[in-house]
Amino acid sequence: MKTVVIRILSSMVYGPLMLVCAWFGGYALQILLSLVTILGIREFYLLARDHKEVKLLLPVLIICGLLVTWSIFFFEFTYIVPLFVLFLFLFLAWDVFANREQHAVEKISCSMFALIYIPMLLSFLYLIRTLANGKFLLIILYGCIWLTDSAAYFLGVRFGKHRNIFRSSKSKSIEGFIAGMITAFVGAYLLNQLVHLIFGYFVLHSWKDIVAYGFIVGFLGQLGDLVESNLKRDFGVKDSSNLIPGHGGILDRFDSLLISAPFLYFYFILIG
């Protein structure tokens, strides 16, 4: 019970902050994403250092991560490929000139993965905000993710009987996963209705959009949580850190968004 209370109180702090930044967009949202990038990269660095004995270049990673997210902020994907080629060359050359051949592959692989997984995927939250009605698309995404996570957690604890389905998260039950899926569809519909009730228009214009939203959040969002659990099992930890009481670390809190945001953006760009 104490853990649940702490979890709710923490949500009451970071939740409004995320919603306010989504509402205003622009530099407010980008500064928040930059902060999350710094904290997320630091978490990943500590996990690699303490549990894999892979010592990454933290200041260099943070600078590269900020370059990624601010490049997307100003130029979208125009310079992303040249940037990542430059980063790869930098990491390759660094060990050569430093005469450090041990764990070279692990360091380079972890560094490149961290830059893709954290700042690049995070930047899709800003890109969603740039779409038509992006303010509400992002707020509905947050709402759906939070509702899905809560339903999967609480209903999974209460009614979950079939566990050990996923080796990466043995406590997750198939009942909780299904509850999260259903909640995502219902949440997308209700939040769309709420926006219409308050502002007078629908953000999701058809059932196709609502179904796509529900699937992306309900399935891919929960998959993002399982992906993060898989990474943590490889590192041998329960949480990426204890930064957010009741939730773990930054990567624990943003794991569902990291996977669902890119697919949501591409859906509205290519199909919606």
pLDDT tens column, 179-214: 889 999 999 999 999 999 999 989 998 999 999 999
Residue 5: the pLDDT is 63
Instruction: Delimit the domains of the chain by residue range.
Output: 2-270
pLDDT of 46-59, one tens digit each?
Answer: 999 998 888 899 99
Of the ranges 36-45, 59-68, 222-231, which one carries the lowest mean pLDDT score? 222-231
Residue 248: the pLDDT is 74
Q: Cβ–Cβ contacts within 10 Å for residue 210, how many? A: 19
> The pTM is what?
0.92
